[in-house]
């Protein structure tokens, strides 16, 4: 079984041509990572045909980098990924302060449902 096909194939984002002028494609685990980023970067209401799609992180802009804010961000990320990324099963979501006072680091650990492969990523999010 080719798990890369099962995990998806599509344009690499951001869209950019390769050396030959063709669009770059991604598939497999990298496509799943890109899809997670799309969920986190999209605001609900931004997509006309799917108004509920997205995470809603922008509402945390200009909020203080406190334990309470980080807990709300964690809950929102967990909710959005559970709703919009069926190819993964979340193991954990952690939100910690970054070196910059306005930065939080969202650490996401997950298992790809189709092949059991574990992966993780860190999504930096600036509150200002």
Domains and CATH numbers, the chain: 3-126 (3.10.450.40)
Q: What mean pLDDT do residues 111-128 have?
A: 95
Instruction: Write the CB contacts of 93 (distance below 8 Å, at least 6 apart in sequence).
Output: 74, 77, 78, 81, 106, 107, 108, 109
114 pLDDT band (50/70/90 cuts)?
A: confident
Q: What mean pLDDT do residues 40-48 have?
A: 95
Q: What mean pLDDT do residues 29-43 have?
A: 92
Q: Please tell me the distance from the alpha carbon of residue 78 to that of residue 114, in angstroms, as a whole number.
A: 20
Q: What mean pLDDT do residues 26-45 have?
A: 89
Q: What is the pTM of this model?
A: 0.82
Q: What mean pLDDT do residues 93-98 have?
A: 98
Cα dihedral 69, 70, 71, 76 sign: positive
pLDDT value of position 77: 99
6 pLDDT band (50/70/90 cuts)?
A: low
| pLDDT tops 70 at residue 117 | yes
């Amino acid at each position: 079984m080719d798990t890369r096909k099962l995990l998806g194939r599509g344009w690499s984002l951001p869209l950019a041509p390769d050396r030959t002028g063709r669009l770059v494609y991604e598939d497999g685990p990298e496509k799943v990572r890109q899809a997670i980023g799309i969920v986190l970067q999209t605001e609900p209401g931004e997509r006309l045909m799917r108004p509920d799609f997205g995470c809603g992180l922008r509402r945390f802009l200009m909020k203080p980098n406190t334990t309470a804010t980080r807990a709300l961000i964690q809950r929102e990320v967990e909710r959005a990924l559970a709703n919009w990324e069926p190819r993964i099963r979340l193991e954990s979501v952690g939100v910690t302060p970054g070196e910059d006072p306005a930065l939080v680091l969202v650490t996401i650990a997950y298992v790809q449902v189709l092949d059991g492969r574990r992966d993780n990523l860190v999504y930096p999010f600036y509150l200002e």
